[in-house]
């Protein structure tokens, strides 16, 4: 099948081309620029338009989390050497030594890359956000290299224990949904006193004590944490967003809501225990969103 390529008759000195190039590079002074609205897959086509476009695409600080990169990491890095983020989800062919190509990456999704153990994290010392859901071979050792990390999402990471959190003092958001074993406990999470956003959905072994040292929280999701009682809420007086769905423990009563006067958003589906009555809602004067 014949392929026809259209090459626009513009160059560096053409005013139209110059205007387009200036907008494409606008991320340097006005945010992400026009290229920020494209995916890296689309960018591969844009490279064919002109040499100027090729250079703009190659030097753009890509953080495209919509596109899962499936090519060899060395090849990908050569094509996008200035990239700041990448999604490598479900790559069963990746090993720790492949991460050497990601030294400049700030935002990384490696969910379900099940050959990664974490020792390759030594190449990721500048990482700010990491998602490793389903990476069940990752162990504590790799986290010693991630001291700059600000956001960590890890579901079903069975081998990670409390020891990992000792290295994550700069973390602001933590999501450990479905940590169903007892390797992650109150003591581990309590080490990260600067947390603002905590998601502990279905963490069946966590108790009231997890919240005591976390005085900077503003958003909490505790779906299905059935061991929590009224005492947990004493430490949540500053939060504005809470999801406590499926916390059906009768040890949560109207008293818990006395500490939630700053809440703006509350979700409490299936909290149908008789110990929560209409009286609870008298304490929620600032509430804007309520889902039951």
Are 208 and 218 in a shared domain?
yes
Is the domain of 66 the same as that of 45?
no
Determine the average pLDDT of the residues in 271-280.
96
Cβ-proximal residues to 244 (8 Å cutoff; 6+ apart), any chain: 222, 223, 228, 252, 266, 267, 268, 271
pLDDT for residue 241 is more than 60: yes
Residue 240 has pLDDT above 90, yes or no: yes
Residue ending a domain, among 171, 204, 230, is 171
* Statement to judge: residues 260 and 159 lie in one domain: no
Whether residues 164 and 150 share a domain: the answer is yes
21 confidence band (pLDDT: 50, 70, 90): low
Q: Which long-range contacts (CB under 8 A, 24 or more apart) does 203-210 make?
A: 203/176, 203/177, 203/178, 203/179, 204/180, 205/179, 205/181, 207/232, 208/232, 210/186
Neighbour count for residue 136 (Cβ, 10 Å): 14
- Inside any domain, residue 3: no
Q: Which residue has the higher pLDDT, 160 or 9?
A: 160
> Does residue 52 sit within a domain?
yes
From 5-19, 233-247, 257-271, the region with the lowest mean pLDDT: 5-19
Alpha-carbon distance of 252 to 227, in angstroms, equals 10
Instruction: Compute the average pLDDT of residues 262-275.
Output: 97
69: nearest Cα among 61, 60, 80: 80
Residues of the chain with pLDDT > 90, as a percent, come to 81
Q: Which two tokens stand for residue 75?
A: 């090849």
Verify that 99 and 56 share a domain, yes or no. Answer: no
Please tell me whether residues 213 and 288 are part of one structural domain: yes
CATH number assigned to the domain comprising residue 77: 3.80.10.10
pLDDT at 256 over 80: yes
pLDDT: is 181 or 253 the higher one? 253
122 lies in which domain range? Answer: 61-171
Mean pLDDT of the chain: 90
> Which of 10-19, 163-172, 272-281 is least confident?
10-19
Same-domain pairing of 288 and 200: yes
Q: Does 220 share its domain with 146? A: no
Residues 221 and 129 occupy one common structural domain = no
Tens of pLDDT, residue by residue over 68-85, are: 999 999 999 999 999 999
pLDDT grade, residue 32 (50/70/90)? low
Residue 211: pLDDT above 90? yes
State how far the Cα of 103 lies from the Cα of 186, in Å rounded to an integer. Answer: 32
Within a domain: 258: yes
Q: Domain check: are 207 and 292 in the same one?
A: yes
pLDDT classification of 181: cutoffs 50, 70, 90? confident
Question: How large is the average pLDDT for residues 124-131?
Answer: 98
H or E element: which one contains 77? helix 73-79
Q: What is the mean pLDDT of residues 221-236?
A: 97
CA gap 101, 108 in Å, rounded: 12
- Quick one: pLDDT at residue 16? 44
Residue with tokens 């490696």: 110
**Residue 190 resides in a domain:** no
Q: Identify whether 87 is part of a domain.
A: yes
Q: Does pLDDT of 3 surpass 50?
A: no
- What is the average pLDDT across 222-248? 97
Of the three residues 171, 188, 218, the one that is the final residue of a domain is 171
Handedness of CA 276, 279, 284, 287 (dihedral sign): positive
Residue 8 confidence (pLDDT) above 50 = no
Average pLDDT, stretch 141-156? 97
If asked whether residues 166 and 73 sit together in one domain, one would say yes
Task: With a cut of 70, say whether residue 260 has pLDDT above it.
Answer: yes
**Residues 71, 56 share a domain:** no
Residue 6 scores a pLDDT above 50:
no
- Above 80 in pLDDT, residue 103? yes
- Whether 186 maps to a domain, the answer reads no
107-109 and 289-291: which strand pairing?
unpaired
What phi, psi does 57 have (nearest 5°)? -65, -45
Task: Say what the pTM is.
Answer: 0.88
User: What are the angstrom distances between the C-alpha of 43 and each of 35, 58, 76, 210, 268?
Assistant: 8, 9, 12, 45, 43
* Residue 232 included in any domain: yes
Domain count, the chain: 3
The answer to whether residue 6 sits within a structural domain is no
């Amino acid at each position: 099948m014949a392929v026809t390529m259209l090459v626009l008759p513009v160059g560096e000195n053409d005013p139209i081309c110059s205007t387009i190039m200036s907008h494409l590079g606008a991320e340097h002074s006005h945010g992400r620029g026009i290229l920020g609205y494209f995916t890296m897959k689309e960018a591969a086509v844009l490279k064919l338009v002109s040499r100027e476009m090729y250079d703009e695409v190659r030097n753009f600080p890509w953080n495209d989390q919509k596109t899962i990169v499936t090519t060899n990491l060395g090849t990908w890095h050569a094509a996008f050497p200035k990239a700041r983020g990448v999604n490598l989800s479900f790559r069963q062919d990746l090993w720790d030594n492949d991460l050497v190509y990601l030294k400049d990456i700030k935002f990384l999704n490696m969910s379900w890359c099940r050959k990664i153990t974490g020792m390759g994290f030594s190449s990721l010392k500048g990482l700010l956000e990491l998602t490793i859901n389903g990476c069940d071979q990752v162990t504590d050792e790799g986290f010693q290299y991630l001291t700059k990390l600000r956001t960590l999402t890890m579901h079903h990471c069975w081998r990670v224990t409390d020891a990992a959190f000792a290295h994550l003092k700069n973390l602001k958001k933590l999501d450990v949904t479905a940590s169903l074993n007892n390797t992650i406990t109150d003591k581990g999470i309590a080490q990260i006193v600067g947390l603002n956003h905590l998601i502990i959905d279905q963490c069946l072994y966590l108790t009231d004590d997890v919240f005591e040292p976390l005085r900077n929280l503003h958003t909490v999701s505790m779906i299905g944490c059935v061991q929590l009682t009224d005492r947990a809420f004493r430490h949540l007086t500053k939060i504005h967003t809470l999801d406590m769905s499926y916390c059906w423990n009768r040890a949560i009563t109207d008293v818990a809501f006395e500490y939630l006067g700053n809440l703006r958003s509350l979700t409490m589906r299936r909290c149908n225990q008789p110990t929560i009555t209409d009286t609870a809602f008298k304490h929620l004067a600032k509430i804007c969103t309520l889902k039951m």
